[in-house]
């Protein structure tokens, strides 16, 4: 009974306050400029050194050779922790982070994408 007496004033105050949470799917907030989201790969700048592959702590990125001096990057979005280490270790600035963060998908096969 003592707890009810302590909780009641707090519950009444909460009825008249603005909620602390936001209704995300219906109302979207602005994203900060330094948010690390989906990766963008510039294949013209890539030289195939694979430093990004070696430095990725989640082993989420692969670099494959397409042709002579042409490479493609494959990202496993479900493995990526969006730390940005691959972007930092790329000497040629072939990788960049965007602010796109809504990457959920129902199919596991679609989580492995060419970037």
The answer to whether residue 100 sits within a structural domain is yes
Tens digit of pLDDT at every position of the chain (115 positions)? 566 677 888 888 888 888 778 787 788 888 888 889 889 999 899 998 999 999 999 999 999 998 888 999 999 998 999 999 999 999 999 999 998 888 888 888 888 888 7
Give 103-108 contacts, CB < 8 A, sequence gap 24+: 103/37, 103/38, 103/77, 105/77, 108/78
Does residue 76 sit in helix, strand or coil? strand
The answer to whether residue 51 sits within a structural domain is yes
CATH number of the domain where residue 36 is located: 3.30.70.3270
Total structural domains within the chain: 1
The answer to whether residue 10 sits within a structural domain is no
Q: Considering all CA atoms of the chain, what is the largest pairwise distance in Å, rounded to the nearest integer?
A: 78
């Amino acid at each position: 009974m003592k707890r009810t007496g302590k909780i009641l004033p707090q519950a009444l105050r909460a009825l008249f306050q603005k909620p602390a949470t936001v209704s995300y799917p219906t109302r979207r907030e602005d994203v900060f400029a330094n948010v690390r989201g989906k990766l963008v790969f510039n294949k013209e700048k890539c030289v195939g050194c694979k430093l990004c592959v070696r430095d990725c702590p989640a082993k989420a990125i692969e670099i494959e050779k397409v042709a002579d001096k042409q490479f493609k990057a494959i990202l496993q979005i479900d493995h990526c922790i969006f730390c940005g280490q691959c972007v930092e270790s790329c000497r040629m600035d072939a990788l960049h982070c965007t602010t796109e963060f809504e990457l959920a998908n129902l199919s596991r096969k679609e989580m492995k994408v060419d970037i």
